[in-house]
Amino acid sequence: MADAERVTARQRAILTAIIESYIETGEPVGSGTIARLQSGEGSGLSSATVRNEMAELAEEGLLEQPHTSAGRVPTARAFRMYVEQLSGGAHPRIDAARLSARSRSQIDLSFQGIAGTQAVLERTSHVLATLSSGVGVAIAAVAEGDMLEHVHFSRLAQARVLAVVVTRSGLVRDRVLALDKDLSVRELEVAANFLNEHFRGWSVERVRAEIARLVERERSEYQKMLNSVQQLWAKAVPDAPVQTVYVDGVANLVGSQEDSERLREVLAALEEKQRLVELLNAYIDARQESVRVVFDLEEHAPEMSGLVLIAAPARMGGESRGTVGVIGPKRMHYENTMNAVSYIAHVFDRMLEPGE
d(CA 76, CA 78): 5
With a CB cutoff of 8 Å and minimum separation 6, the contacts of 102 are none
Per-residue pLDDT of 94-117, as tens digits, reads 888 888 899 889 998 988 887 766
d(CA 23, CA 268): 27
Per-residue pLDDT of 249-280, as tens digits, reads 888 887 665 666 777 778 777 777 777 877 88
CATH code: domain 96-142+243-351 is 3.30.450.40
Answer yes or no: is pLDDT of 85 > 70.
yes
**Which three-class secondary structure state does DSSP give residue 305?**
coil
Q: What pLDDT, on a 0 to 100 scale, did the predictor assign at position 212?
A: 83
Starting at the edge strand found earlier in the chain, the sheet holding 307-316 runs 243-248, 135-141, 319-329, 307-316, 292-294
d(CA 327, CA 138): 11
CATH code: domain 4-74 is 1.10.10.10
Lowest mean pLDDT among 65-69, 82-86, 193-197, 210-214: 65-69
Q: What pLDDT, on a 0 to 100 scale, did the predictor assign at position 2?
A: 46
pTM reported for the whole predicted model? 0.71
d(CA 237, CA 325): 26
Q: Domain 148-236 is in which class? A: alpha beta
Res. 290 pLDDT band, cuts 50 70 90: confident
- Residue 136's DSSP bridge partners are 248, 326
Answer yes or no: is pLDDT of 93 > 50.
yes
Straight-line distance from the first to the last Cα atom of the chain, in angstroms, rounded to the nearest whole number: 46
Q: Tell me how far CA of residue 84 lies from CA of 94, 167, 212, 292, 307, in angstroms.
A: 10, 40, 52, 10, 17
Per-residue pLDDT of 233-242, as tens digits, reads 888 776 545 5
Q: What is the DSSP string of 113-143?
A: T--SHHHHHHHHHHHHHHHHSSEEEEEEE--
Res. 23 pLDDT band, cuts 50 70 90: very high
Res. 354 pLDDT band, cuts 50 70 90: very low
Q: Taking residues 2-22, report their average pLDDT.
A: 84
Each domain of the chain, given as residue ranges in start order, spans 4-74, 96-142+243-351, 148-236
Q: Taking residues 59-84, report their average pLDDT.
A: 87
- Region of 141 please: left (phi>0), alpha (psi -120 to 50) or beta: beta
Q: What pLDDT, on a 0 to 100 scale, did the predictor assign at position 183?
A: 92
Res. 347 pLDDT band, cuts 50 70 90: confident
Q: What pLDDT, on a 0 to 100 scale, did the predictor assign at position 253?
A: 81
Answer yes or no: is pLDDT of 74 > 90.
yes
Q: Taking residues 68-88, report their average pLDDT.
A: 87
